[in-house]
Amino acid sequence: METLVLPCADAEALAQVFATLARVLSDTPTAQTAGTVAQLASALGVACPHDVPLAALERDHADLFVVPNPRYVAPYESVYRDLSALPPGVEAGTSARSGLLMGPSTLEVRRSQLEAGLEPQRDLPDHVANEFWFMAHLWHKEAAAADDERAEWASRRERFADAHLREWLGELTACVERNQQCGVYGAALEIALAVLELE
């Protein structure tokens, strides 16, 4: 991942931020992952650990997002928003949660993505990384649009953020922060929340 500067008023820079966060949350960590997240965190005043060993990043990524285990956190909007009845004491976003994958939220996200010309390439449309890829796509379209089309792309982006990310990202972030060990993935999600506040 390349070095990023965060001029928050620049649409192309914000597209790059969301694309970077999508890669951080979807790809196997590399030696650059923690450094990139730390750089963005520093620019936004988000707490983030430095010099996290690669083995710790890999373990945290697998335990949080890949392998069902006691620390697993479901990274899908539908799990947080399309719930069946939960027994008392079941914590949001954990492997015990009985949310509905591929529920109405998933279908709404997919419809929004397809209408804007983006086909999710990995996992389900409402995986947090796919929603971040979509935000990157919308920011990029806004940056590249002609003057008379820019407002429409900005409106699409804002509608999606309001209807989806702002509705569940805080809850996902809290779950990750409770279950993480190295701190990088919680910081990545805090960065996304901070950028959404700046919009």
Determine the Cα–Cα distance for residues 173 and 138; give it in Å rounded to an integer: 22
Determine the Cα–Cα distance for residues 85 and 197; give it in Å rounded to an integer: 31
What pTM did the predictor assign? 0.88
Secondary element (H or E) of residue 160: helix 147-160
Q: Which domains does the chain have, with CATH numbers?
A: 11-198 (1.10.3480.10)
Q: pLDDT tens digits for the chain (199 residues)?
A: 344 445 455 899 999 999 999 999 999 999 888 899 999 999 999 999 988 999 999 999 999 999 889 999 999 999 998 875 455 555 555 544 445 677 889 999 999 999 999 987 678 999 999 999 999 999 999 999 999 999 999 999 999 999 999 999 999 999 999 999 999 999 999 999 999 998 7
Determine the Cα–Cα distance for residues 134 and 145; give it in Å rounded to an integer: 16
| Token reading at 184 | 């990088």
The residue type at 78:
S
The answer to whether 134 touches 112, Cβ cutoff 8 Å, is yes
Determine the Cα–Cα distance for residues 146 and 92; give it in Å rounded to an integer: 42
Determine the Cα–Cα distance for residues 72 and 139; give it in Å rounded to an integer: 30
Please, which residues bridge with residue 83 across strands?
99
Q: Is 94 helix (H, G, I), strand (E, B) or coil?
A: strand
